[in-house]
Amino acid sequence: MASIIGIDLGTTNSCVAVMDGGKPKVLENSEGDRTTPSVVAFSVDDEVLVGQSAKRQAVTNPHNTIFASKRLIGRKFEEDVVQRDLDLMPYKIVKAKNGDAWIEAKDKQMAPPEVSARVLQKMKQTAESYLGTDVTEAVITVPAYFNDSQRQATKDAGRIAGLEVKRIINEPTAAALAYGLEKQQGDRKIAVYDLGGGTFDFSIIEIADVDGEHQFEVLATNGDTFLGGEDFDRRLIDYLADEFKKDQGMDLRG
């Protein structure tokens, strides 16, 4: 029986898990880490780098190193959140013919799902190395606030990566499952906070017993797509750059 893998496609990092002996197991990648940076780079010799290798060369190749592309997936170029990114990202964000936000690197324009697909392929390879067999099906998590366009774009990324996406699951629901809340009895409502690398989400989830099975429903969700680890890092960098400018009279930001 073919294995269906579970993938957390994150803004900053991604990971992949399989069911092993009836229990979920988060797999180590080729570098021995359980999380892989969601970074894709196009090197000077046209090699495509994914994960830690892409992150390591980001300083010397910033315009062709793509990170936090999840913020752009399924979005239109004119959206406010995309416009905010134009001045923040070292790589170029462009407007596609259909109005979508695309990314340009090495003089090539690509849709965000194409970038995410590179990360998903890395997750797929990690799972195949562990299982010793081909993997063709996956469940992928997305933020609860993702709209239909963003969810479809995530499915498209899976298809490009050679995966049939069996289900898109909300990240707070996945968190509730990970904490074993489905094993507790009775109907109830819970709050899930999700502070990630690029977003902060707050969701109210109802867990109901229906015919002996637990059903999860997201009743309400809200959040900020520009409040996460990436933004904390940027604030710290800005503060340090300002302090350096005060002391030395030089702006490190150019």
Which residue of the set 194, 201, 230, 231 is catalytic? 194
Out of 55, 70, 124, 155, the active site residue is 70
Distance of CA 136 to the CA centre of its chain: 20
Let me know if 8 is a catalytic residue: yes
Hey, what are 110's tokens?
């690509």
Cα R_g (the chain), whole angstroms: 19
Q: Which of 110, 108, 129, 130 is nearest to 118 (CA)?
A: 110
* Alpha helix segments (H runs only) across 161-212: 171-178
194 is catalytic: yes
> How far apart are alpha carbons 242 and 45 in whole angstroms?
36
Q: Closest Cα partner for 192 from 176, 211, 179, 207?
A: 176
Say what the alpha-carbon torsion angle 64, 67, 68, 69 is, to the nearest 10 degrees. Answer: 50
Instruction: Check 85, 100, 114, 171 and give the catalytic one.
Output: 171
Which DSSP category does 123 fall into? H
- Kind plus residue range of the DSSP H or E element containing 192: strand 188-195
Question: Roughly what angle, to the nearest 10 degrees, separates helices 148-160 and 112-131?
Answer: 50
Cα separations in angstroms, 127 against 3, 34, 55, 70, 186? 9, 11, 21, 22, 35
Catalytic annotation on 70?
yes
Q: Which of 8, 100, 201, 231 is catalytic?
A: 8
Q: What amino acid positions are annotated as catalytic residues? A: 8, 70, 171, 194
